[in-house]
Chains A and B, each alone.
Chain A
Amino acid sequence: MLLPIVTQIGLALPLLVTGAIITETIFGWPGVGPYFLTATKSLDYPVILAILLLSATLVIVGNLIADLLYVLVDPRVRLQRSAA
């Protein structure tokens, strides 16, 4: 039962940073969302690249954490140690 929850936790990590674009825009909070929006509209490439890299890294790290948590949460799941 915990497995889907762990999956969602792993998927939620990138959303922490990039998921609140609209909310931050409405309330005028200076978050990653509005920063990214102004950067894309003005074609500020370094900022766009940096935020894309950040979000891609978070996706991968989130998936990694989810995979590691699977082992903790469900003893039947084993990390693969050999090709066998």
Chain B
Amino acid sequence: MTAATAGPATRRPALNRVRTSVPAQAWVAIGFLGLLVLLSLLAPVLPLDPDTTDLDAMSQPPSPEHWFGTDQLGRDYFARVVYGGRISLVVGFLAMLTATVIGALVGVVAGFAHPRVDGLLMRLVDFLSSIPWMILIIVVSVFLKPGLATIIIVIGGFSWMATARLVRAETLSVKERAYVGYSGYIGERPARIVIRHILPEVLPTILVAATASVSLAMMTEASLSFLGVGIQQPMASWGSLLQTAQGNLQQLPHLALIPGLLIIATVLSFNALGNALRHQLSREA
């Protein structure tokens, strides 16, 4: 797509790339995330043991036998980081799925249905958004017994509001298009209109919101596990690894640096992915 066919200059960035339409950072992001997902899937098959303590080899720095060193109890840190990545990714992905499904449903219904229903649903969104989020999540996860399922439900259940607002705005604008009106006139049932006409138009917005949701979910999971109300010790997750690393930050910086940098890299990758998706999808619109 050359500059001549690009249309209004506002849609394309200043770099007039002729062939490459996906920015390089998106490829780096995809590569990194692919590696992470591959390691997470293969983790049970690889010879990694995150839970066996070896009291002869406590608090070792990185070495050839222990690639990331060992933690204070002698557990191999590479194994803990890989298994922690598994849990963190699973939580991030499932929480995103929950939040996106709820948010998309609420958004489409609010955008498409009667204005009274819209008003009611948006009041619900406002109500949930006005409660301080961290406090709400901490309280609910403590009262629901901290654990993997709890944290997924809690994060997913309290992060859908932004997606709902976005999807509702998109739905409201798509609803005004001619073919949606005509579908109603020829007698298509509302459910069919939503599924066949509105959802395909709204899907790009949902996808971009989903990538942002994964980033948010992973950061929240790390925060909650770090504070001790998420994934509990001794289950590894990047947040709980950060919690154990907190005690010996001066002597053993690698215990905190490695999960911390991995969290940063993963969140950045998902954000870059979301940017690239939005870039791609806005071109075709």
* A56 touching B131, Cβ below 8 Å: yes
Residues of A within 8 A of B223 (CB): 22
Within 8 A of B (CB), among A1-49: 14-15, 18-19, 21-22, 25-26, 36-37, 40-41, 43, 48
Residues of A within 8 A of B228 (CB): 37, 41
Given contacts A36-B138, A37-B138, A52-B139, contact A59 B131 (CB under 8 A): yes
Q: What interface size band does chain B fall in?
A: 10 to 19
Shortest distance between the CB of A62 and any CB in chain B (Å): 9
Instruction: Give Cα A56–Cα B139 distance, bound, in whole angstroms.
Output: 14
Closest A residue by C-beta to B134: A21
B132 in contact (CB, < 8 A): yes
B30 in contact (CB, < 8 A): no
Residues of A within 8 A of B28 (CB): none
B35 in contact (CB, < 8 A): no
Residues of B within 8 A of A (CB): 130-132, 134-135, 138-139, 142, 223, 226-229, 246
Instruction: Other than A40-B138, A52-B139, give 14 A-B pairs with Cβ distance below 8 A.
Output: A14-B132, A18-B134, A21-B227, A22-B223, A25-B226, A25-B227, A36-B135, A37-B138, A40-B139, A55-B131, A55-B132, A55-B135, A59-B131, A63-B130
20 A-B interface contacts by CB (under 8 A): A14-B132, A15-B132, A18-B134, A18-B135, A19-B132, A21-B227, A37-B138, A37-B227, A40-B139, A40-B229, A41-B142, A41-B229, A43-B142, A48-B139, A51-B135, A52-B135, A55-B135, A59-B130, A59-B131, A59-B132
